[in-house]
Amino acid sequence: MDANQSPHILIVEDDARLATLTREYLEGNGFQISIEGDGARAVERIDRENPDLIILDVMLPGEDGLSICRKVKMEKDIPILMLTARTDDMDQVVGLEMGADDYVAKPVRPRVLLARVRALLRRSEVQPVTADSNEPQSSRLEFGDLVIDSAMREAWLKGESIDLTSAEFDLLWLLASSAGRVLTREEIFTALRGIEYDGQDRSIDVRVSRIRPKVGDDPMHPRRIKTVRSKGYLFVKEV
């Protein structure tokens, strides 16, 4: 994205009324908006337009949003905000497993959507926020055979590059940069999303479960990223 241009957002949504209302609201807040209503055409259009962010509905004609998300994330690191049914928790979990960066439940509340969009765009442009942003941080952290570099936004295990989504890297860096200290879900949620934790969101837990095997942790008996019951997560300095 050119520094002098407004971010371009592609809305993939077959509900024409919702898509139009969303476009008008986001355009009123300074964004460039395109709309695609057919899932079968979405991936080709994303390849062609290369938007800065995608708002992607789960239920679409032609091809569902989960499949589109998986295909896009295999090739690109474009932030994806999924729209899910409020009562369908499984959509949210599977969407995160497919690589989605965040989700908003329908019916969509405009201010919530705007806050999530801005947070995702900030995350894709600047260094991830740490729990204590006043403390100076090294751009590279090393924990034995695990190396994490925030400047390069990459991590390596035993010299091999780890395949992490943008959201997974941000969470890993946040935990690792606070190694030895328990981070509550509230702290993690606020640091990564810029909004308060509602007590129901499972995205942090899903991402931790995906990160663990990637950093050499045993998902059933984790030693590097520990769950602290009723509190949050602890990244262990020495395993």
- Written in H, E and C, the secondary structure of 25-58 is HHHCCCCEEEEECCHHHHHHHHHHHCCCEEEEEC
* pLDDT bracket for residue 132 (50, 70, 90): very low
Beta bridge partners of 32: 8
Q: In the predicted model, what is the mean pLDDT of residues 98-110?
A: 85
The answer to whether 89 and 113 are in contact (CB under 8 A) is no
The answer to whether 95 and 58 are in contact (CB under 8 A) is yes
Asked whether the predicted pLDDT for residue 138 surpasses 70, the reply is no
Q: In the predicted model, what is the mean pLDDT of residues 166-182?
A: 91
User: pTM to 2 decimals?
Assistant: 0.63
Asked whether the predicted pLDDT for residue 215 surpasses 60, the reply is yes
In the numeric block, which tokens belong to residue 33?
């908006």
CA distance 34 to 2: 17
Q: 10 Å Cβ neighbour count for 167?
A: 23
* pLDDT bracket for residue 77 (50, 70, 90): confident
pLDDT for res 200: 66
pLDDT for res 91: 67
The answer to whether 64 and 58 are in contact (CB under 8 A) is yes
For 38, 209, 213, 216, the CA distances from 221, given in Å and listed in that order, are: 43, 11, 11, 11
